[in-house]
Amino acid sequence: MKKTFRIVSILEGISYLLLLFIATPIKYLVGNELFVKILGMPHGLLFLTYVVLAIILKYELNWKPKTFIIILLASVIPFGTFYIDKKYLRD
């Protein structure tokens, strides 16, 4: 399960960065919403999967409440999921 969470975490982080730094600027600077529409749904699904897997792993790995909150907050901070991977998920 941890390996799956690592993969989802990295994909979620990449999709978030693409949405923030490519799709959103294109939407507001050029007026083209296509990239937001293309990236929005996959990012949303990855985000939900990240949260659900984090909840499951909280119990599997006996994360302390503080660790769990940090892991959840990292999903809404740019580059946060990469930090989580390095600090908490690598063996």
pLDDT at 91 over 90: no
Contact predicate 36/19, CB 8 Å: yes
CA angle, residues 75, 33, 72, in degrees to nearest 5: 5
For the chain, the structural domain boundaries read 2-89
Question: Measuring CA to CA, how many Å separate 21 from each of 12, 46, 77?
Answer: 14, 18, 13
The pLDDT tens digits for 19-47 are: 999 999 999 999 999 999 999 999 999 99
* pLDDT recorded at residue 58: 95
The pLDDT tens digits for 64-78 are: 999 999 999 999 999
pLDDT at 2 over 90: no
